[in-house]
Amino acid sequence: MIAEVTELLLSQLVLFVLVLTRLSTLLLAMPAVGVGVPMRVRALLAISLTVLLLPIVGRQVDGVAEPAMDNLIELATAIAREAMVGLLIGTVVQLLVTGLQLAGEVASNTGSMQLGDGADPTTRANVPTLARLIGLLVTALFVVLGGHRLLLQALLDSFDSLAPGHVSFHEGMLDLVVHELVSGIQAGIRLSAPVVTALLLSNLVTGFISRTLPGLNVLAIGLNINALVILIVSSLALGSVTWIFSQELSEALQRLRETW
């Protein structure tokens, strides 16, 4: 009797560790949670969600053979595989957020406003202020649209096809990451297109003014015009972030479900 109870508790402990690993890496890569939240809060959140999800996962994997953990090497390998699955789910959305931030970098570089760079806590690199603004806006939209609930649902769906301790990788997962990287860059280019077009037209107008009035300080005038154009056009173009992000997010989650 004692041996059976011990074996049952050990199997539940292994299942708890595997589910906790997949969920923790998802939280690390998830926008609005992976950065800016204290480590203790994230740890408490991961443990609490694991306790809540463990009965659901147990019913989903009912009938699946328990993973054989005869030694630490097998356990470490299983934990590493679970971590990769969680990172894959979170990276799908993070690549989209980073791609949309590219719009701010393209607009700032085109308008010669690189002096407004600041440190980004996500990438630990200097990015333009406009790119940080877009990143914060997209993160807020992610929470408002219920993206955190959608990612948790994607996590539960992953347990149906990839049971804890029985994770296997295939080429479709790498194709998903590459596809989301390309989709994020395309979304950023679409968002920055109106601002870049307006800046090119303003530079053309500044060139005509310099040819008509050679005595003017074209450099000072051009910088002021570019700054004014970025502020006006960006305030109008940022309204399309909601439509672009919601569309790309739904498509990304659909491709994620098809990958399993």
Amino acid at 259: T
User: Tell me: the pLDDT tens digits for 93-131?
Assistant: 888 888 888 887 777 777 666 655 566 655 566 667 777
* Integer angstrom CA distances of residue 110 from 30, 127, 128, 171, 183: 30, 14, 12, 38, 22
User: Tell me: the pLDDT tens digits for 37-94?
Assistant: 778 888 888 888 888 888 877 776 665 555 656 667 777 888 888 888 888 888 888 8
- When pLDDT is averaged across residues 2-15 and rounded to a whole number, the result is 59
β-sheet bridge partners, residue 144: none
Write down the mean pLDDT value for the chain: 77
- Of the candidates 115, 240, 90, the one whose C-alpha atom is nearest the C-alpha of residue 180 is 90
pLDDT score of 5: 44
Rounded (5°) CA angle 119-121-125: 45
User: pTM of this prediction?
Assistant: 0.78
User: Tell me: the pLDDT tens digits for 197-253?
Assistant: 887 777 777 777 777 766 666 666 666 777 777 777 777 777 778 888 888 888 888
Whether residue 146 has pLDDT greater than 80? yes
